[in-house]
Amino acid sequence: MCGIIGAVAESAIKPVLDGLGRLEYRGYDSSGISILSNNEIQTIKARGKLNNLKQRLSMQALEGKCCIGHTRWATHGKPNETNAHPHQCGQVSVVHNGIIENYLELKRKLVQWGHHFNSSTDSEVVPHLINHYLSQQMTQEEAIEKAITQLKGSYALGILINGSSNNLYAIKQDSPLVISQGNNGFYMASDAMALGADSAKIYYPKDNEIFQLNSHEIKLCGNSINKKIHYINNQNSAKLISKEGHNSFMEKEIFEQVDLLKRLSVNSHANKYSTINFKELKKITIIACGTSYYAASVAKTWFEKYAHILVEIDIASEYRYRSPIVTDNELAIFVSQSGETADTLAALRYAKSKKAQTLALVNVANSTIAREANFTFEIYAGPEIGVASTKAFSCQLAIFYKMAIEAAKQRELINNAELKQLIFSFAQLPYIMEKVLQRCTDMKAMAKKICKYSNVLFLGRGALTPIAQEGALKLKEISYIHAEAYAAGELKHGPIALLDEQMPVLVIAPKNNLTDKLLSNIQEVQARNAPLFIIGDKSIREYINLQEDDFFELPPMPEAILPIISVIPMQLLALYSAQILGKNVDQPRNLAKSVTVE
Ligand code: M6R
């Protein structure tokens, strides 16, 4: 993970610090900058959040035209100041995102050559290697080129060299990187979102192209730039910073979902979905990680139910290692909010190598996954800053729902009345969601009780099992309460052994054809004295005796949209539990928004 940024501009420190603020979602255990000031590289680092670095910087008047910065998510080496980037060797300073897999071997060699290392990171070998080749009279470009031929693994690098000319270099392999030309300077960063209002033109480098940014131009070393330029909307980055009156980005993003779904239900992207020939498809495979994987799990139920298509789902980190069978007429869908998740990207590349037709479902339009898939559908959730994914999930589900309808239509497996009903249900979705959000104080009361426990068991059935899993993931991510989820029928096959007064069980209980079965599962819970909490239809209360605070009522709604609605109380539960426990909702420990390492 980690976020990197660099600028060649008047007062380069400002765009770098602003960009680090926007990159903090990629890691926040330490940060640092290197700046060329008075012909010297000055490096300042701090442990913890970016504010600590800013405080240090406020104590010294540093100015310069060439600056690199880093915000870290520790892989190799503890999150402390020594391991924070940039790492420097002589006149070379480097920021790195990725993993240098052969760093131990390289380090051994460099130590034999007389190099001394300060950190326990993999990254520190990079400035040492470059410095070594510079000392052999190579030019800056030659030294970088030679150094990267030694590296195995993934990297996006920002390299500052203090030499006869002051240059910033950027290069990548299997890690995201953008290069940008603005009116007032030249920039490089992990993603386009990190760049401020000055950057309009964005270049997406290919692996191992070496870019030089100097005070006059951006140079592709050895070649002239002849690449496609993608324009980004500069307003996005400015808008990002605001929580719009909410306590956290996550809270803002939860409440934003109503408007996003209103927009999605009005905009017809149906024409786009019809570019996929669902009629001829034999199989859909959906591959993703984390929350996006749970969206895939819900999508499977819709595609199977409404379009009768065989759907396999897989966790991206497993997919390419299990020799999956890619058949003719198979569509492989890759779901990713960030579009940069290393496991999902690697799975996409694997599927492409096996000649599968690939489709990316992403939130970040120009992300690597979006650019590499054969087809790309956006979910239009807008920038999601909270590390715990919320609005991206409901928008992923909304798009999947529309795709399933299109598939059902093309395969002529659904009559007009059913089709109309599904479309009508979708149109109702934001209004029902609004009602649920209006009851958020009820969820505060439930959270107050639940967050007194150390463990919680979530139960669901059918398409609501992945929602229970998503609820458990949300709770553990930001409140650090241990939570697991099961299909309710599985309770008796093992997890029931855990039940006692200290193991609360939260059940999603709608009124549908499985209600009777679920009620039996609920009885089993109550018989073992486990504290019971229900998110469900009003009618459930007729059968189960529960205190007011232990029940969160779901409004009546069509079965098809239940998963999209019932995730809302789950998100609120996690949010309020974390708030009550005083946790950092947007930046939970050990996590990063975009997981760009394997
Ligand atoms: O950007 P992606 O959708 O590919 O990310 C996948 C997961 O890393 C992500 O959903 C993660 O599980 C979130 N922290 C969940 O809240």
Note if 289 is an active site residue: no
Note if 2 is an active site residue: yes
Per DSSP, the residues of 266-294 read HS--HHHHTTS--TT-SEEEEEE-HHHHH
Question: What per-residue confidence (pLDDT) applies to 471?
Answer: 98
**CA 418 to ligand 1 center in whole angstroms:** 33
Q: What is the distance between the alpha carbons of residues 533 and 547, in angstroms, rounded to a whole number?
A: 9
Q: Residues 89-109: pLDDT tens digits?
A: 999 999 999 999 999 999 999
Superfamily covering domain 245-436: Glucose-6-phosphate isomerase like protein; domain 1 (3.40.50.10490)
Handedness of CA 231, 24, 79, 392 (dihedral sign): negative
Burial of 201 (0-12, 13-18, 19+ CB in 10 A): middle
Among residues 208, 72, 166, the alpha carbon closest in space to that of 592 is found at: 72
Ligand 1 probe mutation, 190, 292, 344, most atoms within 8 A of CB = 292
Indicate which residue's Cα is closest to atom 14 of ligand 1. 388
Question: What per-residue confidence (pLDDT) applies to 357?
Answer: 95
The CATH number of 439-586 is which of 3.40.50.300, 3.40.50.10490, 3.40.50.720, 3.40.50.2300? 3.40.50.10490
**CA 292 to ligand 1 center in whole angstroms:** 6
Question: What per-residue confidence (pLDDT) applies to 598?
Answer: 75
Residue 258 reports pLDDT greater than 60: yes
List 72's β-bridge partners, or say none.
Answer: 30
Indicate which residue's Cα is closest to atom 4 of ligand 1. 336
Do 130 and 96 touch, CB atoms closer than 8 A? no
How, if at all, do strands 375-378 and 30-37 pair?
Answer: unpaired
How, if at all, do strands 66-72 and 30-37 pair?
Answer: antiparallel
Render the burial of 19-36: b for 16+ CB within 10 Å, e for the rest: bbbbbbbbbbbbbbbbbb
Q: What's the mean pLDDT in 272-295?
A: 94
Going by pLDDT thresholds of 50, 70 and 90, the confidence category of residue 374 is very high
Q: Comparing 103-117, 219-233, 471-485, which segment has the lowest mean pLDDT?
A: 219-233
Closest atom of ligand 1 to 392 CA is 3
Q: Pick the catalytic residue: 65, 252, 583, 593?
A: 593
Residue 318 reports pLDDT greater than 70: yes
Cβ-Cβ contacts under 8 Å for 414 (sequence gap 6 or more): 306, 307, 408, 422
Question: What per-residue confidence (pLDDT) applies to 233?
Answer: 61
Ligand 1 probe mutation, 389, 395, 573, 586, most atoms within 8 A of CB = 389
Residue 271 reports pLDDT greater than 70: no
Going by pLDDT thresholds of 50, 70 and 90, the confidence category of residue 228 is low
Question: What DSSP state is assigned to residue 13?
Answer: H
**CA 310 to ligand 1 center in whole angstroms:** 25
Same fold, 245-436 and 439-586: yes
Going by pLDDT thresholds of 50, 70 and 90, the confidence category of residue 223 is low
Q: What's the mean pLDDT in 557-572?
A: 97
Residue 134 reports pLDDT greater than 50: yes
Q: Which of 122-131, 200-209, 377-386 has the highest mean pLDDT?
A: 122-131
Question: What DSSP state is assigned to residue 228?
Answer: P
Cβ-Cβ contacts under 8 Å for 217 (sequence gap 6 or more): 186
Q: What is the distance between the alpha carbons of residues 510 and 426, in angstroms, rounded to a whole number?
A: 18
Residue 236 reports pLDDT greater than 70: no
Closest atom of ligand 1 to 388 CA is 16
Going by pLDDT thresholds of 50, 70 and 90, the confidence category of residue 238 is very low
The CATH number of 3-233 is which of 3.60.20.10, 2.40.30.10, 3.30.565.10, 3.40.50.10260? 3.60.20.10
Ligand 1 probe mutation, 191, 250, 253, 289, most atoms within 8 A of CB = 289
Residue 177 has phi, psi (to 5 degrees) of -155, 140
- Ligand 1 cavity residues, CB under 6 Å: 289-292, 336-338, 341, 344, 387-389, 477, 591, 594-595
Strand order in the sheet with 211-213: 87-89, 92-100, 153-162, 166-173, 211-213, 218-220
Q: What's the mean pLDDT in 241-268?
A: 89
Q: Comparing 54-68, 280-294, 301-315, 465-479, which segment has the lowest mean pLDDT?
A: 54-68
Per-domain residue ranges of the chain: 3-233, 245-436, 439-586
Q: Comparing 19-33, 142-156, 222-236, 330-344, which segment has the lowest mean pLDDT?
A: 222-236
Going by pLDDT thresholds of 50, 70 and 90, the confidence category of residue 50 is very high
Closest atom of ligand 1 to 290 CA is 12
Q: Residues 419-450: pLDDT tens digits?
A: 999 999 999 999 999 999 999 999 999 999 99
